[in-house]
Amino acid sequence: MENVIVERVADFLKQFPPFQEIHSADLHKIAAQVRVHYVPKRNFVFKEGDPAHTEFYVVQQGAVGLRSKSRSATAWIDICDEGDILGLRPLFADQTYAMEAVAREECVLYAIPIEAFKKVLANNQAVMDFLLESFASNTRNPKASEAKGKLLSANYASNEAQSTDLDFFQQAFYTKNPICLTAKATIQKAALLMNDHKISSLIIEENKLPIGIITDKDIRRWVATGEMQIADKVSEIMSSPVKCVPPTIHLAEVQTILLQHKIGHLCVTQDGTDQAEIIGILSEHDIVTAQANNPVALLKQIERVSKLESLTRIRESLSSLLEAYLNTALPMPYIMKVSGLITQALMHRVIELSEEKIGKAPVKFAWLGIGSQGRGEQLLLTDQDHALVFEDVSDEELETTQAYFLKLAKDVSRVLNELGYVFCPAEMMASNPKYCLSLSQWKSQFSKWIDQASTQNIMMCSIFFDYAKVYGEADLVKQISQHILQKLKGNQKFFAYLAEDAVKNPPPLGFFRQFIIEDDGEHKDEFDVKARAIQPLVDAARVLILAEGIEGKNNTVERFEKLIELEPQNEEVYAGCIKSFHVLSKFRAVEGFKNNSSGRYLELSSLSKSDKMKLKRAFKPIQEIQSLLKNRFKLSYFL
């Protein structure tokens, strides 16, 4: 029986890094010494300041939250789930714990004795490198598919750290399919190849594995000085062994390696070792190129741009950047933040250029991003959704004033369309006279939607209650927000209608826990991740935050975080919604970039069993938040 348990532990561990790198015999020795801990919900694994344990932990089931006593009790630094490692500090430093670990739900942990594990580390550099990276960079799992990166959530990172983080997480784009030579080739052949292909380096390979690198500097150093002849073999002057890195490496890591080893080139292989096939090469020049396309650089380029072609290139760079971030498994809060900042800056510049072209606006105005852009959640090239509000003018000036802003909006919409943001099929755009209104007209419009609750009006509220200023006068936007909140104050009937709309899509699982998929049309047998999973979370956050009378919280995650502050008794439900929102958003983004689509429909047959389980786990908070809505707004009586 004991051997069966050891086998089960070993089988589980070998699914996750760094245990995948451990030889089977060694892994079974570790598994035989693992202790299984059951941790009830809300119990501590360790507390901040506790003496170091003799074990570190791997989550087998459940979720463990990490937080610091110096922050709010609701400000989780990160959540570790299946396969994640925590409590590594005693492995490298005989110190007290720097944060506390709390079971967010019932947990089963595998406790691995540190002394036993050190014996494995002594003969396994890959495992040591993984754990060193994890400990040194404050990273719970550098290879994790869900949340690689520093243990900093959006509400934990300081503003001062933002610029550093933008640079740290920038992916180092490498040259694919590099030119290679064998060690027996002559220096002359290497020089001719470099000249023909206009490159400055070659990888020397043997059976498709890297054994060295030769650069034009090497040739000048040895041949130009007469120490070597052009007929000599490249093996005589190549740098060896070659330093290899994986394709997912970040810019900061590349810079560190080049400085540490005083070299100018790195070989990119499938797994980052010299025993894997060559797939690319990285040079100091690639670093310069990457730095020119990082978020900070893109923001600076947007400020200076004056031509549509340049805007198109920046928009393409943003898409490439976001796709790379997803591929390197950066945290979704960070990816969304970068996307939101650059998208807003891009649209701001488009409006600015259009205003310069058409002429200065006759009165103050504000351009509003609506829907996903208004919530700061736009990752993909989706439909345009926007509106425009201008300050009140006399009845005599209204027609000509609106005509100016319609002209401006049409020009902006045209440019956005050329950048890849297609026109909204329902024409919910500022170029539509219905959504290009004065401040008073917008107040009247919102009053009508709120006072005359109907299916259509509730739908319009769901769309237009999520807005953010992209350009113009913030005070106009503030006046609209204050008007809406005043109209909603104590309006239980309206909130019941809005809550009813928010629960119209129940958790997307059938009676036998099967996915509810589209049964006809273009997307037959596909799963609508937007309407069936993401939208219920968005809708729930909206109605709850509005019912609290909170102004200025448009982002779904920020809404749930604020609700945690206001209702700590419901923290578990709201925190679950946050995690699910990030998981579901990533599924949609990955699908969108893979198929150059909106990412709305997932082909379930292409998902792994693990991915399907992640999806199903993400549905649980939908059921919980909808139950909360039904109870709070008495929907059983209302319906």
3-state secondary structure of 151: coil
Residues 410 and 537 in one domain: no
Confidence at 295, pLDDT banded by 50, 70, 90: confident
Domain count, the chain: 4
Query: In Å, how far are 251, 328, 618 from 248, measured between CA atoms?
Result: 10, 5, 26
**What is the CB neighbour count within 10 angstroms for residue 50?**
13
Whether residue 159 is predicted with pLDDT greater than 50 in this model: the reply is: no
Residues 518 and 565 in one domain: yes
CB contact at 8 A, 75 and 156: yes
pLDDT value, residue 329: 64
pLDDT value, residue 506: 85
Residues 406 and 264 in one domain: no
Residues 213 and 79 in one domain: no
How far apart are alpha carbons 67 and 95 in whole angstroms?
A: 17
According to DSSP, the β-strands at 55-61 and 365-370 are unpaired
Between 130 and 575, the more confident residue is 575
Give Rg (Cα) of the chain: 28
Confirm whether 164 is domain-assigned: no
pLDDT value, residue 104: 86
Whether residue 223 is predicted with pLDDT greater than 90 in this model: the reply is: no
Give 278's strand partners: 269
Whether residue 635 is predicted with pLDDT greater than 70 in this model: the reply is: yes
Q: How many percent of the chain have pLDDT more than 70?
A: 87
3-state secondary structure of 516: coil
Confirm whether 79 is domain-assigned: yes
Q: Domain limits at 40?
A: 2-151
Residues 41 and 118 in one domain: yes
Q: In which element (H, E) is residue 59 found?
A: strand 55-61
Rounded mean pLDDT, 108-134? 79
Whether residue 567 is predicted with pLDDT greater than 60 in this model: the reply is: yes
Q: What are the helix (H) ranges across 371-491? A: 395-419, 439-451, 455-464, 474-488
How far apart are alpha carbons 42 and 397 in whole angstroms?
A: 63
Rounded mean pLDDT of the chain?
84
Extract the tokens encoding 483.
Answer: 């008007």
Contacts of 627 (CB under 8 A, 6+ apart): none
**CB-based burial label for 487 (10 Å; 0-12, 13-18, 19+):** middle
Domain C-terminal end among 112, 136, 151: 151
Whether residue 170 is predicted with pLDDT greater than 60 in this model: the reply is: no
Residues 200 and 66 in one domain: no
**What is the CB neighbour count within 10 angstroms for residue 575?**
21
- Tens-place pLDDT, residues 35-59: 999 999 889 999 888 888 989 999 9
3-state secondary structure of 499: helix
Residues 514 and 620 in one domain: yes
Residues 100 and 132 in one domain: yes
Q: Look up tokens 């319609």; give the residue.
A: 406
According to DSSP, the β-strands at 436-438 and 386-390 are parallel
Exposure of 541 in the CB half-sphere (CA atoms within 13 A): 26
CB contact at 8 A, 251 and 170: yes
3-state secondary structure of 156: coil
Whether residue 306 is predicted with pLDDT greater than 90 in this model: the reply is: no
**What is the CB neighbour count within 10 angstroms for residue 230?**
14
3-state SS, one letter per residue, for 166-204:
HHHCCECCCEECCCEECCCCEHHHHHHHHHHHCCCEEEE
Confirm whether 250 is domain-assigned: yes
Residues 332 and 481 in one domain: yes
Whether residue 60 is predicted with pLDDT greater than 70 in this model: the reply is: yes
Number of H-type helices and E-type strands within the chain: 24, 21
pLDDT value, residue 188: 92
Between 567 and 148, the more confident residue is 567
What's the pTM? 0.61
CATH of the domain at 45: 2.60.120.10
Residues 30 and 109 in one domain: yes
Exposure of 352 in the CB half-sphere (CA atoms within 13 A): 15
CB contact at 8 A, 50 and 97: yes
Rounded mean pLDDT, 145-162? 37
CATH of the domain at 455: 3.30.460.10
Confirm whether 160 is domain-assigned: no
Domain C-terminal end among 489, 520, 540: 489
**CB-based burial label for 91 (10 Å; 0-12, 13-18, 19+):** buried
Confidence at 118, pLDDT banded by 50, 70, 90: confident
Residues 367 and 464 in one domain: yes
Domain C-terminal end among 292, 326, 345: 292
Extract the tokens encoding 601.
Answer: 């429909």
Confirm whether 166 is domain-assigned: no
Residues 359 and 483 in one domain: yes
Whether residue 568 is predicted with pLDDT greater than 50 in this model: the reply is: yes
Q: Look up tokens 């006046």; give the residue.
A: 479
DSSP 236: G
CATH of the domain at 218: 3.10.580.10
Confirm whether 338 is domain-assigned: yes
Q: What torsion, rounded to 10 degrees, do the Cα atoms 216, 217, 221, 224 define?
A: 40
pLDDT value, residue 294: 66
pLDDT value, residue 311: 86
**What is the CB neighbour count within 10 angstroms for residue 45?**
24
Confidence at 435, pLDDT banded by 50, 70, 90: very high
Whether residue 318 is predicted with pLDDT greater than 50 in this model: the reply is: yes
Rounded mean pLDDT, 226-234? 90
Rounded mean pLDDT, 439-466? 92
Whether residue 110 is predicted with pLDDT greater than 70 in this model: the reply is: yes
Confirm whether 168 is domain-assigned: no
Confirm whether 228 is domain-assigned: yes
pLDDT value, residue 310: 80
Between 171 and 282, the more confident residue is 282
